Amino acid sequence: MTYCLGLINRFGIVMGADSRTNAGVDYISAYRKLFDFSLAGERVILLCTSGNLSMSQGVIHQIRRDLRAEEGDSLHRLGSMYDLAEYIGVKIRQCQERDRLWLEKDSIDYQCNFLLGGQILGEEPQLYLIYPQGNYIQATKETPFLQIGETKYGKPLLDRTITYDTPLEAMAKCALLSIDSTMKSNISVGPPINLVMYEADSLTVRHKLTLRLGDPYLAKMRGQWESYVRHAFESMPNVEWEAEQLDSGEQILID
């Protein structure tokens, strides 16, 4: 399992991903799941992957093969982010169609999901979630973040914090906290964590970060967040229990 997320608003895009692909008692593996295919000054293209590793690696291999080709569709030749989402959806279907029957014979989940974020010169920044079937949805002002993988533990923080006007640096902190909250609750999500922050209309990625196991900033952030949450919890007023009136005029508390 994995956890990847993308956040977008008027100031730009933040995308983050863990690297864990298996978490057994005696076997833990990690592979990069956030990829940068940008052309500085022309287009920024960021991809995150989750799901079956062989499938997602197959899609990434086909994408890189097309980039090396001198003609045909590729991430660097298509003219819009919408076209890129369509192109990646086709690649997902092709890989799954090739291997699906063989994986199904052994009851192996063959599906994979992608997050596509970025900007092409002449367009606004955009963020897409591309499903295993090849179709996709786009993030909006009302829903400025998308997630794939183990999404449930990191979502409450995003719901309470992120808006279309959140400063970009604050979005980056929120993304890291969302990933850390997921790691705290699910052993199948773990470091290294990769994070990218893109400033709208800059058409170049200036901010990248990799946080490995034991990184001092990651430990400091987790410690402070847990302390603040604990303090907020302890500051909450006690529950005001309702009372039920008896015929005799006595009161009992409802259990």
Kindly report the CATH number assigned to the domain that includes residue 64.
Answer: 3.60.20.10
Q: Please give the Cα distance from 77 to 100 (Å, whole number).
A: 29
Q: Is residue 248 part of a domain?
A: no
Q: Is residue 254 part of a domain?
A: no
Gyration radius of the chain over CA positions: 22
SS3 at position 193: strand
Q: Is residue 197 part of a domain?
A: yes
Q: Please give the Cα distance from 138 to 40 (Å, whole number).
A: 23
Q: Please give the Cα distance from 151 to 182 (Å, whole number).
A: 8
User: pLDDT tens for residues 133-164?
Assistant: 999 999 999 999 999 999 999 999 999 999 99
Q: Is residue 251 part of a domain?
A: no
pTM, to two decimals: 0.89
Q: Is residue 103 part of a domain?
A: yes
CA 47 from centroid of its chain's CA atoms: 10
User: pLDDT tens for residues 11-40?
Assistant: 999 999 999 876 555 566 788 999 999 999
| Total structural domains within the chain | 1
Q: Is residue 125 part of a domain?
A: yes
Pairing between β-strand 34-36 and β-strand 28-30 as defined by DSSP bridges? unpaired
Domain that holds residue 209: 3-237
